[in-house]
A and B are shown apart, each in its own frame.
Chain A
């Protein structure tokens, strides 16, 4: 084929709807709000697994906390009828992510596993992705962080430590996904089985409110979980097409 024909074919493929749906795996997560107790074990697990910096009390007070998954709390009503709702909020790995289009150096992009990845080496710190993200799940390193001994001994060697000036966010523990894919490849080019890879938050959740897996596999736990009639996605009306599905809490009145 001539260059022009190759270009035309590539263009046609790009413009056909579903171009981005040709994923190898399509990692997704469901969060059952009925089972979530708001214990924040997932927050702690994420912090240990991904070498999240210890920002400190002063940093938290200044609004510079780094929590790749956070439990949002909303209080309703006046005492004694106070009600607390909470929802874990993490990077939704949107298939139409607003953050991906705005990065001037393409430090964030959608990879072939359906993940929204952040490339720390490429990030120049314009912070526009944090502005464009409607879920506010992107966190910036305002300082170089250090871990006082012996906390530096618990750092995960599979995950980089980010320097100041780069943006970071939940990666669905991409290091664990990579590991699982490597193991699967070593065992003879099979696909990663359902339940073989779990991000730290999913692994730690005491009530198993978080379910993670490959959405392309119709038999996986997460696919079945997403068919639940309680399923909804946060800020769905913005058409960001998130990969995280929440299962609405069943409310009882009185």
Chain B
């Protein structure tokens, strides 16, 4: 492990990243086994129990038909927002500090989307027919209902998943080639296939940069539209607390906010547990992420205040009832906890000392994500509780099966991420090299690797 003050050289990056892929210590296996075990026990097992007995295993009831499953789905889609979106925006603004972290952030996006897709299947009453929501020609001559906001979801998330996968894969091609040149055996075969014959010629770099920028420009409006569309599942209903035009920006800002906090968490973990990465992921990254968190928190607070204000200003009795229930009803403690974690705690990021300290930022990022989950849950829980007809008001408490599946989803995400760390170079080698000074006295270090 090199000391933090010494600047890394080109060869060091290659060595450190390849080592992170090739060398596996017992700590990794323990982590992977734990994550996989928790996933199977807490996610898949309760889900199969629910498939067998019915959705009654969850705590949902009449009128609270959407419970934590939908809230989790929205939460994971939200988490998926920051990785790729942030990476694209920062790429177009030519910021240097994104280079070390964007690969893992994009991976976060991909895996969050996958976990969100599994939540759709968990949520459905008859998930074995989920393929009916896809537009494929069939003997029934039935297409899905294109007027449905849920179908807009399917289209949007499918597009985003495809776009993000292509984006992360394409950006990794030079790194796959670098790893290919430094490995042997089955890994060599795998990376030879993955790197698509990359030779590193000038024209190849030129084309890669062009294609990458093209996709980055494409993905930004795509990401904004995806979470707007997901918010319209709620906003296109006539439920009093949900039928608001603010929902699209509300969700997008919340998503970027929680996704950025997720990136902070992941960066902390990568930095701490992978040898050598603490030179590449530095205080500068945390400083900039902290500033971003602060800005997003302020925007979110503003949007939330607007939502409260317009609800009150409308004078509609249903809106007043919904707002009053949100702030002072059964779920009020959750509401105020959300305000604390979302609007108040990130104000600590005003202080540079806070922003550049690792563990406090980690704690803040976890708090933000807890607040985010609470917010998603409250959107579903408080609005469905109080609709138009008072006879149909009801309260919902998540069941053990649901809580277990929520926990299991984090374990599923962790499992996917751990597998990612061993296949993809989790730091973009070629981009980090762009941020380093070209050494004046030494030649560019020859590639190290096992002698063929």
Contacts and interface: CB of A to CB of B under 8 A. Distances in A.
Given A72-B391, A127-B65, A104 B124 contact: no
A178 interface: no
A38 interface: no
Given A130-B65, A165-B54, A135 B389 contact: yes
Contact of B133 (A98, A124, A165): A124
B392 A102 contact: no
A180 interface: no
B330 to A, nearest CB: 13
A141 B237 CA distance: 22
Contact of B388 (A122, A135, A164): A135
B130 A102 contact: no
Contact of A102 (B60, B64, B149, B389): B149
B147 A126 contact: no
Given A63-B62, A136-B387, A141-B54, A102 B125 contact: no
Given A72-B389, A124-B132, A105 B144 contact: yes
B389 A123 contact: no
A70 B236 CA distance: 27
A126 B154 CA distance: 13
Among the interface residues B61, B149, B236, which one has the most CB atoms of the partner chain A within 10 A?
Answer: B61
A144 B66 contact: no
A126 B55 CA distance: 11
Interface in B376-395: 384, 387-392, 394
A136 B392 contact: yes
Given A64-B61, A124-B133, A101 B147 contact: yes
B197 interface: no
B23 to A, nearest CB: 46
Contacts of A143: 53-54, 56
A254 B286 CA distance: 72
Nearest to B120: A126
A104 B65 contact: no
Given A74-B390, A164-B125, A140 B62 contact: yes
A163 B55 CA distance: 12
A238 B130 contact: no
B403 interface: no
B233 interface: yes
B244 to A, nearest CB: 15
Interface string A110-138: 00000000000011111110111011100
A104 B389 contact: no
A102 B237 contact: yes
A142 B63 contact: no
Contacts of B154: 104
Contact of A105 (B145, B384, B391): B145
B381 to A, nearest CB: 12
B125 to A, nearest CB: 2
Contacts of A131: 65-66, 237, 239, 384
B238 A238 contact: yes
Nearest to B150: A104
Contacts of B445: none
A104 B130 CA distance: 10
A102 B124 contact: no
Contacts, number: 141
B142 interface: yes
Interface residues on chain B, size class: 35 or more
Instruction: Identify whether the interface residues of B are mostly helix, strand, loop, or mixed.
Output: loop
Nearest to A130: B65
A103 interface: yes
A165 B150 contact: no
Contact of B54 (A65, A134, A142): A142
Interface in B157-201: none
Interface in B38-88: 53-56, 59-66
Contacts of A101: 145, 147-148, 236
B313 interface: no
A247 interface: no
B98 interface: no
A108 B360 CA distance: 51
A142 B126 contact: no
A73 interface: yes
A65 B392 CA distance: 11
Contact of A165 (B60, B64, B125, B391): B125
B125 A123 contact: yes
Contacts of A103: 145, 148, 150
A20 B88 CA distance: 46
A98 B238 contact: yes
Nearest to B129: A124
B352 to A, nearest CB: 45
B125 A141 contact: yes
A166 B125 contact: yes
A135 B391 CA distance: 10
B248 to A, nearest CB: 17
Among the interface residues A73, A74, A104, which one has the most CB atoms of the partner chain B within 10 A?
Answer: A104
Interface string B101-143: 0000000000000000000000111110110110000000010
Contacts of A164: 53-56, 125
A89 interface: yes
B90 interface: no
A6 B234 CA distance: 37
A102 B150 contact: yes
A12 B149 CA distance: 25
B125 A127 contact: yes
Contacts of A141: 54, 125
A63 B125 CA distance: 17
10 contacts: A62-B61, A74-B391, A102-B237, A125-B127, A127-B65, A130-B62, A136-B387, A143-B53, A143-B56, A166-B125
Given A136-B392, A163-B126, 9 more contacts: A62-B59, A102-B148, A102-B150, A104-B150, A122-B132, A124-B130, A128-B149, A135-B388, A142-B61
